[in-house]
Structure 1
Amino acid sequence: MEKYTVKKVINKKDINVEVPGSKSITNRALMLAAISNGKCKLSGVLFSDDSRAFLDCLDKLGFKLEIDENAKTVVIQGENGRIPNNEATINVRSAGTAARFMTVLLAVCGGKYTLESSEQMKKRPMSELLNKLMENGVEIEYLEKEGHFPFKLNSKGIGETKISIDTSKSSQYASALLMVAAVNGMEVNLTGSRPNGAYIKITLRMLEQFGIKFEKNNNTYNIKKQEVKLDAYEVEPDMSAACYFYAMAILLKVKSVVKGIHLNSMQGDIKFLTVLEKLGCKLTDTSAGVEVDGASIDSYPGIEIDMSDFSDQALTMAVVAAFANSKTIIKNIDHIRGQESDRVAVIATELKKLGCKTEIIEEPETDVVIEPGVLHGCEIDTYEDHRVAMSFAMAGLVIDGVIIDNPMCCRKTFENYFDVLENIY
């Protein structure tokens, strides 16, 4: 499917949907299960381009896997911090988590590896992490552009060391180090603007769930060498995916429930529901899942909001802002310029096509100003970015003529997203 014309919703009805497992939690669980000792059964697993890339890497590294996509389960035979194949070639495709997590895993455990990726991933930053690894004795040979994929990695292992890592551009570097530290022992010091960010919190919570003990002193974590062992783990539904359907509650003025999502979720994007509440929605945590009720809202105001800690929803918020009755300012989102696309530029460019006036403010932090206008249909470029496709499709539920170019880039995290939309109609 090269293009998808979104159907404007005429007969509105309440939304009740199920979303895949969390990408962030799935790939962290795969990593932690791989370093554990013995079999670990993961349930509620997300199967998408990103998670399949991660599983393919584990397979190439020699890990024994039992995969059942219908049952949403993966059983991994952990090798107690050892990689079965100490020489291999892996391809992380476009998966940022696989790229960062695998690089650290291979460096810490040791061996000779070639790491390849998609063209999109070659553009994403890796130099800060790779430089830190080289400072600790890891040999990196760049095969194309310095500081980027692809490269060869030769390591005798890393352990009993101290590493400081900046969280400003990507917290995935820090998460990778924190998870793999238990293999040989490591002290990890988090610097930069997001040492206590949402994804760091998910990582720390999952360390606890997998029984990994650590000592915390301010933003420094001391993790001793230890055995990791867990028989089974349940992955939460993906809060990032759920937010599209919760945003539809305010856009379509209906009630929306996403199965299995609850207000005690450890995922940072749960904060988006608080934003919807400020705009007038009612939140109820039911036994089935959180209900967001936008049925009684005639119109809603714009908002000034710092999204530095749940920036995966910046695109979702931008589309919601397009239908507000006053100006919205999305603040502190400079770090999303280096994701699957330059999402700051995408917000400004694609909202202008819809009829909004937009402005990017660079200093002191990167903010986007969105002023609603007379909205109309247009063709949305997706930049091979799944979140662009899924968020801008929401606009087409409200106005005629929205066409999504390359919609199936959503396979990265939510491969049947447009099927779910069809069912909502």
Structure 2
Amino acid sequence: MAYAFAGHTIHHGCEIIGDNQPILIQRLIVPLAPAETFNHSHAHNHSAKADAWPPFFTETDTIKHMSETNNLQLWPAPTANGPLDATVTIPGSKSLSNRYLILAALGSQPVTLVGLLRSRDTELMMGALASLGVRCDIDPDNETTVTVTPPAGGRFQGNGNVYCGLAGTVMRFVPGLALFADGPVHFDGDEQAYARPMKPVLDGLEQLGATVDYHGEIGRLPFTITPPTVLPADRVQVSIDSSGSSQFISGLLLIGSRLPGGLTLQHTGEKTPSLPHIRMTVADVNGAGGHALADEDSRVWKVKPGALQLPERVVVEPDLSNAAPFLGAALIAGGTVRVPHWPVETTQPGGLLPGYLERMGAKVAFPEQDGIRYCEVTSDGSIHGLDDFDLTAAGEIAPSLAAILVFADKPTSMIGIGHLRGHETNRLEALVTEIRRIGGAARELPDGIAFTPVPRASLHGAVMESYADHRMATFAAMIGLAVPGIQIVNVATTRKTLPDFVGMWNGMLGK
């Protein structure tokens, strides 16, 4: 069977590109209706039917110089021939894009999102919303401008299927919307998603009256949520252990305003991972007219009941975590890399990146030109280790920082990132495995990774796994800047958040 793919056709898992050379696409294909059911309008008008949802790919998705080895595509990571001098424009924030999509769906009036990230994760989110009766209309002149129209009366469409892929924000944010559906909603995802923890957010929904039926392992995909006949009238105190992911807390906070009595949410775990992401959620809820309050010391969040409505037009910041591989490249290769549209203030954890790079020895500046603020990172290629380094606040940039620390001048123990074991893959194990694969030295800690420097000359090329994890793929690309002979398995997994990573990377290197 063939599937429509925004101008391409997929045959049995292979993308047939211009020269008819098939490149295997693994675990990246969203189940779609047969190609003959599509028409051109679906590329710009995503209605309530989930089976009429084509993922978005640009023409630059044709990734050149790949071959098939053992049924896995390999990409030869380019080395830097000298110091860099590049300006790299980063697409919109995935975290903000998907939060805005959820909040727009929870409102009562259309919202136009400008600069929305167009990647697999956001396509999955829009597909999930479409299956619940939400319209996502794409501007034909600018595919990063999307108008979201919530369902009439705020009642989501039930008796449908939500496909989560491997997107944590989809599998953990969208289930809350099922509370307000007119029937059961079934959730499924990529096979690899079955290993990702889900139970805390589902426990929270059960405490709010939902029924969760598991079709596999308890606390994992796939499952079906049946909304309660009547939502609780009084404020409900929900207690969950969100130690595994901040997304469990965020997923419940996003819907708290729509509960008749509001929500009090207690995190029962000892540590709260990625607090900046939770703060982002609180700020976004309040920006949509909600009233969310945090007592972080007590690990309690309260949301008052009330209507949510984002402004008519919302501009999405660039994804600062996705800037990490590019800005970090300046340290590995030397030279200067600039990222435009860097915000003065942000709730994104990636906003902490410039300070971390400074601690590693880079010079960081924020020049302005023609009203655009840049983050500019300059390095002579020397990299300082960080001794004991707590990255609790920004764990998602750990793979990028890990790539830099492979080349550091002294050891680093990166801690506070134990929750990364539950991401797209076990990132701690994966990072240690790949560092050792190229001749580096690293070991897992209970809550992080210990890096021990080795001479650059001791590092060697290898086929590096991506584990269907976008950040592991960009980690390997960073290593390849200084280590010749790196080949990356399935670099196309970067489409999760960067639809044209290969083109952007080659552009940074002037290739």
Aligned to 1:173: 248
Does 2:492 match 1:421? no
Does 2:124 match 1:53? yes
Aligned to 1:68: 139
For the residues of structure 1 that align with 2:217 and 2:380, how far apart are their CA atoms? 54
For the residues of structure 2 that align with 1:196 and 1:421, how far apart are their CA atoms? 27
The structure 1 residue matched to 2:411, chosen from 327, 349, 356, is: 327
Does 2:199 match 1:127? yes
For the residues of structure 2 that align with 1:9 and 1:90, how far apart are their CA atoms? 42
Aligned to 1:7: 78
Q: What TM-score do you get using the length of structure 2 for normalisation?
A: 0.79
1:21-420 equivalences in 2 (<5 Å)? 21-68=92-139, 70-79=142-151, 82-107=154-179, 111-156=183-228, 158-159=231-232, 160-184=235-259, 185-192=262-269, 193-194=271-272, 197-217=275-295, 218-229=298-309, 230-287=311-368, 288-362=372-446, 365-373=447-455, 374-420=458-504
For the residues of structure 2 that align with 1:183 and 1:290, how far apart are their CA atoms? 38
Does the aligned pair in 2 maintain the 1:35–1:80 contact within 8 Å?
no
Q: What TM-score do you get using the length of structure 1 for normalisation?
A: 0.94
Higher alpha-carbon deviation: 315-324 or 209-218: 209-218
Write the letter of the residue equivalent to 1:40: V
Determine helix, strand or coil for the equivalent of 1:239.
coil
Segments ≥4 residues shifted beyond 6 Å: none
For the residues of structure 2 that align with 1:241 and 1:105, how far apart are their CA atoms? 28
Does the aligned pair in 2 maintain the 1:263–1:290 contact within 8 Å?
no
**Gaps (5+ residues) in structure 1?**
none
Does the aligned pair in 2 maintain the 1:110–1:158 contact within 8 Å?
no
Does the aligned pair in 1 maintain the 2:92–2:117 contact within 8 Å?
yes
Determine helix, strand or coil for the equivalent of 1:313.
helix
For the residues of structure 2 that align with 1:331 and 1:299, how far apart are their CA atoms? 19
**Gaps (5+ residues) in structure 2?**
1-65, 67-72
Higher alpha-carbon deviation: 77-86 or 240-249: 77-86
Does the aligned pair in 1 maintain the 2:189–2:222 contact within 8 Å?
yes
Does the aligned pair in 1 maintain the 2:195–2:220 contact within 8 Å?
yes
Does the aligned pair in 1 maintain the 2:105–2:134 contact within 8 Å?
yes
Determine helix, strand or coil for the equivalent of 1:72.
strand
Residues 345 and 216 of structure 1: CA distance in aligned 2, closer, same or farther (over 3 Å)? closer
The sequence identity of aligned pairs, in percent, is 26
For the residues of structure 1 that align with 2:303 and 2:385, how far apart are their CA atoms? 47
Does the aligned pair in 2 maintain the 1:80–1:228 contact within 8 Å?
no
Residues 279 and 407 of structure 1: CA distance in aligned 2, closer, same or farther (over 3 Å)? same
Deviation at 1:93, TM superposition (A): 1.2
Determine helix, strand or coil for the equivalent of 1:37.
coil
Deviation at 1:110, TM superposition (A): 5.7
Deviation at 1:297, TM superposition (A): 4.9
Residues 182 and 301 of structure 1: CA distance in aligned 2, closer, same or farther (over 3 Å)? closer
Write the letter of the residue equivalent to 1:48: S
Number of aligned pairs? 423
Write the letter of the residue equivalent to 1:206: D
Does the aligned pair in 1 maintain the 2:290–2:308 contact within 8 Å?
yes
Higher alpha-carbon deviation: 373-382 or 401-410: 373-382
For the residues of structure 1 that align with 2:386 and 2:293, how far apart are their CA atoms? 42
Write the letter of the residue equivalent to 1:176: G
Residues 413 and 299 of structure 1: CA distance in aligned 2, closer, same or farther (over 3 Å)? closer
For the residues of structure 2 that align with 1:78 and 1:119, how far apart are their CA atoms? 30
Higher alpha-carbon deviation: 20-29 or 276-285: 276-285
Does the aligned pair in 1 maintain the 2:177–2:255 contact within 8 Å?
yes
Determine helix, strand or coil for the equivalent of 2:243.
coil
